[in-house]
Structure 1
């Protein structure tokens, strides 16, 4: 509850000297401050009740007569403190006006709005100076109280200041004081509408480069914040910018935030064109009506595919849609997976219903640019027109048609799973809830359709609801009316059986097969035909109505060769077909090998071997064999066997009267010694190498075998390791 304010107290405390910060209970009561008693006795009781005297830093004994306590103004309630401070603001208007008059004239360098902003801020700074001189308060406390008083409307300031500065915070006042202290009072001149007019610092600084570089950075990395952009520009230009012939400080982060928000809104189309091309095409790229580009029925068809927004009992299927751009009539094919076979079936369905088009527009999908699809278009005499990559707008008619199918038909069918991520989230939540209830996916999504039923619904919708509904692109006419009103001839395929064969799916990915001994292998089945030859490369089309039959063409895909049958699938006798195939093969071979057999009979049995021998002899006369490097190979068994052979030879005496040929064998000097080693050890081999090396050093000639052995042995790790040991330990290393 606010107390009655005393005029006497207010007049007595107003002045231009320092603010008195220590007051007695009687002085506080005489001030008649809001929320405080106005009598000395009541004020003393309040101070005792609130324990003011216990605050040692804010209460002190009174030094004058009568004793008692003096209390710091910090103990007063907030409203009372603000009211007391406001009464000390004598001379603030005069101080503020004096600060404005002392500032330099900037009328020629800036706008009127910026000049008004600077003058209002200078007036507030001057008023604060007067308040600070009279207040015995710390700087932060004085700034906070001054700003609060201004917001409450308790400060006496010029009217134009109130009109210009709507709100004031302590931080803002501190920033203005820092600008004045640094001598940069020009920064106080702010034209708040300059940015909206494209004349702000961020728009015009550095000849407009700041805005360009900031936008380029956003284009490069759209997720960057204003703080990131500001730091990047400070790194390029420093803390100051050149703006209208003067140097200004880099704007704050909040200024960048506002500018980026403003630029994103003002340049939304340009930014989207650079950062989100698909969104730009969908939202901004200019597009005119397409109907005037096509002036005849069946002049242009567009085809495209999309997963159906419906689940069936067989899983999720895809929708292939074909639309005649002139009449807007469309046909739909439901298929399991996007493949070239689906394109062929869709084209066949449309050809039978509408006739032959002049041109078909597709995108770059693998099913549309597959060899099978290109071959089909060429065989039918239809020009295939492929849209540029990432350019759905080039076939916008079928794109919109697919959207119509999804929204108008799929959303009405059981098993609908939503058009977007948001729709899908809702359905996923329902699915999770259903799982908690023990339901399966089919129950959660209400899956009730088969793929065949989905196809029938699509046909009924296309021929019924869609074909007879007014179309905006047809000036309100329906697709059925436009097609029925066409009076010019329409090209049609007379032989539907031939069309069915051309549209039949091909074998495998490219349709090519090589005839093997067992026939044509297709999907683990073998197809036989007497007309086909083993090793022949052919092009194969499947018969959609009969899995036991395929149509075989030459490798060019145009010349018909034969119909091949799978005996088991066709219910035929495999042995009879194989016999007929062998007989046909024999006739073909006999006819083609008459000349070969005649020449073969003219060649004598010995002609080949004699020719080979003559050729070998001629070649041997010009070649000399180089001796091969050899190593002695021995095992304990071989050494033992050699000892036994030598012992046997020595034990056989010569025959009576028979002279012993050759010299008598030398007597064994140590007949009683049994050799410890019967094979060549590394040490023995190394001693052998040392002996050969000594002979070479003595200029002796080695035999070819000895030279080859020594050269090869020197390359072995054994020789190198023993050479190292021999160099260090001598003969001790070879024992």
Structure 2
């Protein structure tokens, strides 16, 4: 940032609290005593002389406005790195980006406070307010990670930077919480193993069942690693934990609970001008365009790279435009020419992808982007592509022309009747595959283009490169294989492995259901390299037995042995718990025990009861009373007496029915009218029964037996009438 300004420059800046004329600035400097400061005023060098003032002398409001216009918060320039890959940093991508964003803010603050005469608190307050107010120019990725800033956070970051502990600024909260839940660490991991065993033993258990069984096995409180006791988590927490456990241990659970399904679906199975550019590798340009020729496997794109100084070029044929094609083109050119200082390209998605930017940074290559819709800014590579299309592509079988009109004229070579029903490949004479097209293109570049005199050089590109004395920055091919390996995309591992271009690759360290990012080895078609889709960690190499020349049976046997060993390790604790479950108390007994423990210590008081009676209920009970049977013979009676003596008869009814009570009342009333003796208990019972609803209801239907002289006859008549 510019730190020294003349009076005219300050006047032209029109800053707050300052005059807007040169003379006004000079008078203001005299009033404020700027000219007396030896450290912040100096003589202007160059023609005209005069004084220059340091921006530290400006009033706070003017200083903030000046900083807002000229200060840029961005990541520090990457230092030159070794092109060889360095693995094992221990930080996730998210944590590294958080650290870099905080370091960028710290670097901007240190530059802001340089030369300030304010106290540290005031400097921090002004910088934080400017950051939060959006008056500082901030990279978008930094603003996304750090939307707001506080003086306390800024002080902590500066202290960590001064102490050389920049990695403390790396934050990945998701990774920090992973595997540290109560159900993961309680009882030294036994709770997690027990849950896994329960799910494998009975996948239909609900979260409520699981919580109850946990309480049965471990008690109402769980012991953490530090000895602290915590309550068993609620049902909702167990639901989330079980869902995550099922996702993380899908293969192991399937192996435990559904062996047949595991064997059938998851078990391993077979699978302007640039005249200033005078030295080679100072500047490259790259671009891409569809090839004006068809192949038997579709239309391909051509990626071109040109070295501006020597006009050398390299071409790469790709099925589809993607960042991996850019990486392969760069690899091919670096292997032939060495690493460049700068590469210029357009704003295509495959050129500005994050993978491409990371490759450029890792190789210490500066990226320069041309303006949108400005092909003239990269005219050299545009010319190279045109030369290829009008020279090499025109001679290829399957040439379709450079535009729609050319294609129509080629089609019109045959009459419509001759083309009717004919395939496109037959019309244009398509015969080359993409690999064969690549071989033809390479031969054309080596034998035709680079041997031909270039008008701008006065010699061939080959001679121009041979005459240079600049050292070539070579790169270890192994590093390029890792850094520039094409990405075939995200894949899900199945029991057959990973499928790439209709071939299956077996990865020993991966399980079915794992999501991996796959890089295709450009040298060995039978090998791929897999990385974890979330963390980016290396998973393992994938081998295709058909392309690698490996016995599929041997590869499958090795895969099965490794998988069996890993699953045995994963399921060892769960198998122990399953044995305990099958040999000990049943699950329902454990649930009932916990339920009994949870029952409230309350005894219900008896409630007042009253009998509900309706005419329909009475009629139904009458129908249930057996009718009087005819007199049995003496022999039958003797046999019944014998059976009664030999067997104990349990009466079906222990209480009198309403009909029997009514008959009993009629009998007592008849005996009282006949003058026969009646016990006191019977008399008291009759008095109570007469006041009840049953007696009153039957008296209304059959007549009151007290008022009737012959209650038995009244009952007989009523019964006979009822039977009618």
What range is the shorter-chain TM-score in? 0.3 to 0.5
Higher Cα Rg, which structure: 1
Q: RCO higher in 1 or 2 (8 Å CA, sep ≥ 6)?
A: 2
Q: TM-score, normalised by structure 1?
A: 0.39
